[in-house]
């Protein structure tokens, strides 16, 4: 699984690099693009390694579930 | 940047598909569970509310028709708050796309590809979404335009063939069975669904003939709801509220009822794959907006270099999102609606703030004039 | 006027090629030496020296490309005869100033490099001692193929003639169909070595200005050794070089070329190719055949719908079969399912592999059928039908349904009129088959969406590939899925041409007369 992710990101890095190079983008663009790519990459790896991480759903549920219950009344 | 690219016609067709996609596929069971035979009333009430909501969002967008929300928002709210809100939006859209993707993955894996892992389905669809998003919004809307007729034909033929299976004696219940609470809870969950129309705020600069937007949106709401209503009524007539409520994917079961002259036993993979394209469109637009907003926050020239890396994150998010369908459903039924109100409410806050600021400005200008 | 227009055009092409000019003055020997040096070791060039009116006179030409008999009769005889001119001065005056020789389009030039080019183009160059001007006489005679019948795009009711290799013949055929001064033919020269003539034809007023300049600009950008066919240019001027879809239409029929000119499109003729390029193109144009416009519209519309159906078959049928047999057997009726399952019972391969073997075998057969000499062609047919069809089924290597599927797909792909487009569809079948083999109908859908978004994104010279359906132009739909009768297609298709002005009006009296 991790190998697939690494391969995918390797492909993406090469692809975006040539793309940005062809378009003569600023250095800042490179930074932004590859930083975001790094974040995304680490997130992917993390999800594979730690299977049971709290997800954004849990957060939303934590915040909004009581509210919705109050508004709608208890729905089974 | 060339902006005006989407014709009103394209917007109309796209929005119909946009409403139709997930509401029919994933939410129909829950809606019928909540409001039984009142679902039709619920739909039209929600439509009305959403129309009012759309009116205000378009009003906000029309204030600065050729600028992107991400760019002009900082004139309304302080810079940092705005950037935070936009970051939240980007994540929220990413989350929505991942959520729909997850629903779809579960659906496909459960019904057809029981031996295929979730990640394979998610990965491959994610790739397609990434490519679509990379090609840009013009492609997306043109795709919708072409697909619309296909989907319309599929849905209509579905309705025609299913017609003879229906139990028409149930129709009385549409008039007799009502429950105020059911209508309220039903509307409460359906409004944010249709309320996803607020994506207009973000894509407004891309539209041509902006003055006609409200008209297209109104038509889209009417036609979209009409389409959904027909399907819901058929569901109710076919299965009744209780059975529908217990089926995970009632639409699928309905499609499976079709038999054409004893030759084609089962059309469902075919019709479902056509319906899938609408889901794909929905994921794509959500994902595209997420990427677009992110690119605009960082003031990049275009969104393209971000698509592939964010697509990976989206797929990962969809897989990591929840342990199983049960948790997903619980999230969806218990808290999603309120969260969506929160997300969709933000543009209204912006509109209020903007109006307030203008009002103050006008007043101070007047004062200056007087003094 | 022909006399003046010709050299002017050649100057245009010169400037496009940016070759520096060489002037060698009035000396005879210097120029003769230049020619002899340039054409060193080229024994097919004739250098001839003679004296006319006490003036040394050199003649250079390509032996096999010139009608010598005519040259002797029409030109040489007069120059040499003492009656033609009494003095050198008169000779020059008559020949070079007045051009009183009995050949058309003789041109006068001083640039010796241009003269060498003209020799290679089949002209006869005459130059004289004492005058820097040279005379180029076009007495080119080249063997060309006679205009024959169409080989690939056959029709039942339409004209039969087809383009040939010679560019002038081809243009004549177009001119004979469109007799309007608005039909323009602009000449360019491409190829460092081949110096191939390329003609860009369009109708002024119907064709968008930007399109013409864009086409010219893209062709002029090409710096290539040689152009031996229109496909050389085609690949260089494509918007999306990586796309498998053809982005220009090819035809061998003058009527198709003329019709596309009338729609406001551009036709690019290349010398030596019987197949000009038509630009821009939409996907639907590949599914139209010339026949559609010669038959009655009911028939044409039916055939066109049939083509769309077979397009889908050609693209998806094997994948559909794979998806159903491996993932969704519940879709087909039980009796059919049983017979399919029974025939697949002793096949050792999974459906995907089976389909791949058969498809590749079929593609091989098809290719072999085109390339083999006619005498062996029959043997190939027998081999294909017997060995691959029957024996493979009997031996239990492939199942009978698969043979049916593959042959039906094969037939379907030949129904598409445009060969290159049909080939694209055939190629795209393979990735979809893999997707269908691994994900069932879901994979099929993914494949379709991928192709669809690619096609939606394509455009050929600014015209979206799927117009007029995406973006939608309802008025232009009359000639897409069906072929509306001529009296309904009153306006030109607006997505290519410059204006959607009227192209047809039927006077009231005539239509009333019809009704009586």
Tens of pLDDT, residues C100-148: 777 777 788 888 888 888 888 888 888 888 888 888 888 888 788 888 8
| Distance from the A69 Cα atom to the nearest Cα atom in chain B, whole angstroms | 8
C334: nearest CA in chain B?
Answer: B265
Task: Give the pLDDT score at C17.
Answer: 45
> Nearest by CB to C441, which of B121, B145, B270?
B270
**pLDDT per residue over C460-484, tens digit each?**
888 888 888 777 777 778 888 888 8
Choose among A8, A52, A67: nearest Cβ to B338. Answer: A67
Give the CA dihedral C497, C498, C499, C505, nearest 10 degrees: -50
Q: Kindly tell me the sign of the dihedral angle through the C-alpha atoms of C254, C260, C264, C268.
A: negative
Q: What confidence score (pLDDT) does residue A74 get?
A: 56
Helix (H) or strand (E) holding C200: strand C196-203
Structural domains in chain B? 8-370 (1.10.4160.10)
Strands of the sheet with C183-190, listed across from one edge = C183-190, C196-203, C266-270, C277-279, C249-250
Q: Does B90 touch chain A (CB under 8 A)?
A: no
Smallest Cα distance from C453 to chain B, Å: 6
- The domain segmentation of chain C, as residue ranges, is 2-137, 167-281, 296-464
| Segment holding A58, helix H or strand E | helix A56-72
Residue B261's pLDDT is what?
58
Q: Measured between alpha carbons, how far is B80 from C205 in angstroms, rounded to an integer?
A: 56
- Residues B335, A40: C-beta atoms closer than 8 Å: no
Per-residue pLDDT tens for B206-240? 888 778 888 888 888 888 888 888 888 888 887 77
Distance from CA of B298 to the nearest CA of A (A): 7
Instruction: Name the residue among A43, A55, A68 with its Cβ closest to that of B338.
Output: A68
Q: Which two tokens stand for residue C474?
A: 């309802």
Average pLDDT over every residue of C87-110:
77
**CB neighbours of C410 closer than 8 A, spacing ≥ 6?**
C362, C366
Which one-letter DSSP state was computed for residue B169? G
Contact A19 B338 (CB under 8 A): no
CB within 8 Å of C142: residues ≥ 6 apart: C65, C122, C166
Taking the C-alpha atoms of residue C301 and residue C287, their distance in angstroms, rounded to an integer, is 12
pLDDT digits (tens, 9 = 90+) for B293-304: 888 888 887 778
Measured in angstroms, the CA of B141 and the nearest CA of chain C are apart by 9
DSSP string, B151-192: HHHHHHHHHHHHGGG--GGGGHHHHH---HHHHHHHHHHHHH
**In this predicted model, what pLDDT tens digit does every residue of C389-431 receive, in sequence order?**
788 888 888 888 888 888 899 888 888 888 889 989 989 999 9
For residue C81, CA distances in Å to B250, C73, C75, C261, C514 come to 102, 12, 10, 50, 69
Contact A15 B294 (CB under 8 A): no
C430 half-sphere exposure, CB direction, 13 A CA radius: 12
Residue pair B97/B290 in contact by the 8 Å Cβ criterion: yes
CB contact under 8 A, C332 and B262: no
Q: Report the alpha-carbon distance of residue C45 to residue B64 in Å, rounded.
A: 74
- Residues C91 and C128: their CA atoms lie apart, in Å, by 10
Residue contact C471–B142, C-beta within 8 A: yes
pLDDT tens column, C305-320: 999 999 999 999 999 8
Number of H helices, E strands in chain A: 3, 0
At residue B262, the pLDDT reads 59
Asked if B339's CB is within 8 angstroms of A64's CB, the reply is: yes
Distance CA B202, CA C423 (A): 41
Please tell me whether the peptide bond between A44 and the residue prior to it is cis, using omega within 30 degrees of 0. no
R_g of chain A computed on alpha carbons: 20
The answer to whether A45 touches A17, Cβ cutoff 8 Å, is no
pLDDT given for residue C308 in this prediction = 92
pLDDT category at C497 given cuts 50, 70, 90 is low
CB contact under 8 Å between A19 and B304, yes or no, is yes
Residues 6+ apart with CB under 8 A from C329: C337, C341
Q: Which one of C327, C332, C457 has the shortest CB-CB distance to B113?
A: C327
Q: What is the pLDDT of residue B64?
A: 80
What's the pLDDT at C451?
92
Is the pLDDT assigned to residue C197 strictly greater than 80? yes
Of the candidates C354, C347, C334, C336, the one whose C-alpha atom is nearest the C-alpha of residue C436 is C354
Q: Is B315 within 8 Å of B123 (Cβ atoms)?
A: yes
- Chain C touches chain A, with at least 3 Cβ pairs below 8 Å, answer no
Q: Using alpha carbons only, give the angle B13, B17, B20 rounded to the nearest 5 degrees.
A: 140
Give me the pLDDT at residue C226, please.
Answer: 87
Q: Assess whether pLDDT exceeds 90 at residue C433.
A: yes
- Given the DSSP bridges, would you call strands C124-128 and C277-279 parallel, antiparallel or unpaired? unpaired
Backbone φ and ψ of C154, nearest 5°: -80, 145
User: By the 8 A CB rule, do B215 and B223 touch?
Assistant: no
For residue range C381-391, what is the model confidence (pLDDT) as tens digits? Answer: 787 777 777 88
**Are A64 and B339 a contacting pair, CB within 8 Å?**
yes
**Are A61 and B335 inside 8 Å of each other by CB?**
yes
Subunits next to C (3 or more Cβ pairs <8 Å) are B
Q: Are C286 and C416 in contact (CB under 8 A)?
A: yes
Which residues of chain B, if any, have pLDDT below 50? 1
C6-26 confidence digits (pLDDT tens): 333 344 444 444 467 778 777
Helical (H) or strand (E) element with C459: strand C459-460
List of residues 6+ apart from C301 with CB closer than 8 A: C481, C482, C483, C484
Q: What is the DSSP letter of C502?
A: B
Contact call for residues C422 and C314 (beta carbons, < 8 A) = yes
Beta bridge partners of C199: C187, C269
Q: Is there a contact between B135 and C457 (Cβ–Cβ < 8 Å)?
A: yes
3-class secondary-structure state, position B166: coil
- Chain B residues within 8 A of C444 when measuring between CB atoms: 273
Sheet with C124-128, edge to edge strand ranges:
C45-52, C55-62, C124-128, C131-137, C107-109
**Residue B327 pLDDT:** 75
A11-45 exposure pattern, b = at least 16 Cβ within 10 A, e = fewer: ebbeebeebbeeeebeeebeebbbebbeebbebbb
Report the alpha-carbon distance of residue B363 to residue B356 in Å, rounded: 10
| Other CB atoms within 10 A of residue B289 CB | 24
ipTM of this predicted complex?
Answer: 0.86
Give the minimum alpha-carbon distance from A2 to chain B in angstroms, rounded to a whole number: 12
Return the pLDDT at C302.
92
Residue B323's closest chain A neighbor by CA?
A52
Residue of B nearest to C459 (CA): B139
Q: Residues B33-84: pLDDT tens digits? A: 777 777 888 888 888 888 888 888 888 888 887 788 888 877 788 888 888 8
């Amino acid at each position: 699984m991790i190998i697939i992710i690494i391969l995918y990101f390797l492909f993406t890095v090469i692809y975006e690099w040539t793309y940005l190079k062809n378009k003569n983008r600023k250095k800042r663009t490179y930074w932004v693009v590859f930083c975001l790519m790094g974040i995304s990459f680490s997130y992917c790896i993390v999800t594979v390694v730690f299977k049971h991480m709290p997800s954004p759903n849990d957060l939303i549920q934590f915040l909004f579930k009581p509210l919705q219950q109050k508004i709608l009344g208890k729905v089974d | 940047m060339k902006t005006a690219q989407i014709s009103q016609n394209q917007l109309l067709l796209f929005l119909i598909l946009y409403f139709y996609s997930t509401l029919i596929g994933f939410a129909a069971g829950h809606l019928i569970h909540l409001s039984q035979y009142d679902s039709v009333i619920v739909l039209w009430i929600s439509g009305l509310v959403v129309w009012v909501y759309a009116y205000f969002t378009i009003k906000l967008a029309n204030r600065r028709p050729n600028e992107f929300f991400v760019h002009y928002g900082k004139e309304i709210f302080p810079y940092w708050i705005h950037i935070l809100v936009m970051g939240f939006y980007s994540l929220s859209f990413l989350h929505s796309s991942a959520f729909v993707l997850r629903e779809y993955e579960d659906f496909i894996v459960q019904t057809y590809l029981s031996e295929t892992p979730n990640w394979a389905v998610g990965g491959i669809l994610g790739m397609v979404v990434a490519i679509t998003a990379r090609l840009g919004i013009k492609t997306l809307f043109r795709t919708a335009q072409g697909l619309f007729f296909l989907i319309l034909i599929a849905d209509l033929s579905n309705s025609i063939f299913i017609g003879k299976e229906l139990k028409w004696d149930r129709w009385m219940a549409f008039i007799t069975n009502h429950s105020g609470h059911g209508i309220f809870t039903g509307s409460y969950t359906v409004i944010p669904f249709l309320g996803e129309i607020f994506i207009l705020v973000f894509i407004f600069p891309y539209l041509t003939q902006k003055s006609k937007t409200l008209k297209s949106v109104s038509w889209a709401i009417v036609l979209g709801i009409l389409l959904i209503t027909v399907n819901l009524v058929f569901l109710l007539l076919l299965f009744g509220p209780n059975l529908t409520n217990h089926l995970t994917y009632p639409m699928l079961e309905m499609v499976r009822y079709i038999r054409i002259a004893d030759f084609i036993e089962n059309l469902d993979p075919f019709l479902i794959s056509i319906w899938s394209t609408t889901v794909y469109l929905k994921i794509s637009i959500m994902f595209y907006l997420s990427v677009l907003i992110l690119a605009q926050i960082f003031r990049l020239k275009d969104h393209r270099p971000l698509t592939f890396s964010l697509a990976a994150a989206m797929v990962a998010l969809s897989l990591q999102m929840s342990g199983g369908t049960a948790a997903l459903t619980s999230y969806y039924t218990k808290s999603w609606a309120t969260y969506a109100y929160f997300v969709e409410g933000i543009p209204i806050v912006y509109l209020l703030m903007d109006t307030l600021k203008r009002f103050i400005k006008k007043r101070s200008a007047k004062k200056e004039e007087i003094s | 006027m022909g006399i003046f227009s010709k050299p002017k055009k050649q100057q245009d092409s010169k400037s496009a090629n940016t070759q520096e000019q060489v002037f060698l003055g009035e000396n005879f020997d210097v120029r003769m030496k230049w020619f002899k040096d340039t054409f060193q070791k080229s024994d097919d060039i004739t250098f001839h020296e003679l004296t006319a009116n006490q003036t040394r006179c050199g003649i250079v030409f390509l032996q096999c490309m010139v009608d010598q008999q005519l040259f002797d009769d029409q030109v040489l005889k007069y120059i040499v005869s003492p009656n033609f001119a009494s003095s050198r001065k008169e000779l020059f005056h008559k020949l070079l100033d007045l051009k009183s020789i009995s050949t058309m389009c003789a041109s006068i030039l001083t640039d010796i490099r241009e003269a060498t080019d003209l020799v290679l183009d089949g002209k006869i160059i005459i130059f004289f001692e004492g005058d820097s001007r040279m005379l180029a006489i076009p007495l080119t005679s080249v063997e060309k193929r006679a205009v024959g019948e169409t080989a690939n795009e056959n029709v039942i009711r339409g004209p039969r003639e087809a383009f040939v290799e010679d560019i002038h013949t081809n243009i004549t055929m177009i001119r004979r169909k469109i007799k309007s001064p608005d039909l323009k033919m602009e000449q360019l020269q491409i190829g460092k070595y081949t110096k191939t003539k390329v003609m860009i034809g369009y109708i002024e007023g119907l064709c968008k200005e930007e399109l013409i300049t864009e086409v010219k600009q893209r062709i002029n950008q090409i710096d290539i050794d040689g152009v031996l066919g229109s496909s050389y240019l085609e690949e260089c001027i494509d918007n999306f070089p990586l796309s498998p879809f053809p982005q220009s239409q090819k035809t061998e029929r003058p009527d198709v070329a003329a019709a596309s000119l009338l729609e406001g499109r551009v036709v690019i003729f290349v010398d030596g190719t019987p197949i000009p390029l038509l630009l821009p193109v939409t996907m639907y144009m590949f599914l139209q055949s010339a026949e559609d416009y010669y038959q009655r519209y009911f028939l044409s519309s039916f055939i066109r719908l049939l083509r769309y159906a077979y397009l889908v078959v050609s693209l998806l049928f094997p994948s559909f079969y794979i998806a159903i047999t491996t993932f969704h057997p519940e879709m087909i009726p039980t009796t059919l399912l049983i017979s399919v399952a029974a025939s697949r019972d002793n096949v050792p391969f999974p459906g995907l592999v089976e389909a791949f073997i058969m498809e590749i075998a079929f593609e091989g057969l098809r290719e072999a059928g085109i390339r083999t000499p006619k005498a062996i062609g029959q043997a190939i047919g027998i081999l294909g039908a017997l060995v691959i069809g029957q024996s493979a089924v009997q031996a239990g290597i492939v199942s009978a349904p698969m043979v049916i599927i593959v042959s039906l797909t094969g037939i379907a792909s030949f129904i598409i009129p445009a060969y290159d487009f049909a080939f694209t569809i055939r190629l795209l079948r393979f990735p979809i088959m893999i997707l269908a083999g691994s994900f069932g109908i879901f994979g099929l859908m993914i494949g379709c969406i991928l192709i669809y978004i690619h096609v939606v994104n394509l455009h050929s010279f600014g015209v979206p590939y799927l117009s007029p359906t995406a973006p939608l132009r309802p008025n232009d739909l009359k000639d897409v899925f069906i072929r509306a009768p001529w009296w309904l297609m009153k306006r030109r298709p607006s997505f290519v041409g410059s204006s959607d002005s009227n192209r047809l009006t039927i006077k009231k009296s005539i239509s009333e007369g019809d009704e009586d």
